[in-house]
Amino acid sequence: MDVAHPRLKPALDKLAAADSPELKFIALGQAARQSFAAGKVEDARTYAQELAALLPNFRQHSEYGNAVHDANLTLGRIALREGRIEDAKRYLTESIRVPSARLMDYGPSMSLARDLLERGERQVVLNYFAQCRKFWNYGRLSEWSRQIQEGQTPDFGAHLDD
């Protein structure tokens, strides 16, 4: 097991044990996100693309919004890593187009938002926060927005994937 990324092995084990299209659909998001966090970018890309391809088949599934979020965040982080900033910005916006119970309760991941801030892409992140406010009532969004407007990068704490 990768000690630096202890969530990778359980995510991959869950994916390996998925013996139906539905279970695979549910497991791919975590496998993609944890693979990226562990530096296994090509594995992350494969899992995220496979998940994105499955999305049309699971529109009514309770995990659909989480899957949209996970696939787009992973593909966005890969795009940014490859210097495709406009693609990364589009993926950030797409990642929250279908709010899920998880996103409404715990909020979206801020990993891609942080990565974009590190590249100086403040406005897209501020727009992301504005969209998040429509489904996530989290007081720190205002504080984070203020910090970004002041040229700072907020401490997103537990709202990061890595």
pLDDT at 4: 61
Indicate the pLDDT class of residue 161, thresholds 50, 70 and 90. Answer: confident
Q: How far apart are CA 149 and CA 86, in angstroms?
A: 21
Cα distances from 45 to residues 14, 39, 56, in angstroms, run 18, 11, 18
- Residue 105 pLDDT > 80: yes
pLDDT of residue 139: 82
116 touches 80 (CB < 8 A)? yes
Query: Average of pLDDT values for 77-82?
Result: 98
Residue 162 has pLDDT above 70, yes or no: no
Helices marked H in 38-139 — which ranges? 41-54, 64-81, 85-94, 101-106, 111-118, 122-132
Residues 6+ apart with CB under 8 A from 104: 135, 136
Q: Span 140-159, mean pLDDT?
A: 95
Which domains does the chain carry? 8-159 (1.25.40.10)
d(CA 28, CA 41): 14
| pLDDT > 90 fraction of the chain, expressed in percent and rounded | 91
DSSP state of 147: H
Calculated CA dihedral for residues 128, 31, 5, 36, nearest 10 degrees: -50
pTM of the model: 0.93
Residue type for 19, please?
Answer: D
Band (2; pLDDT cuts 50, 70, 90) = very low
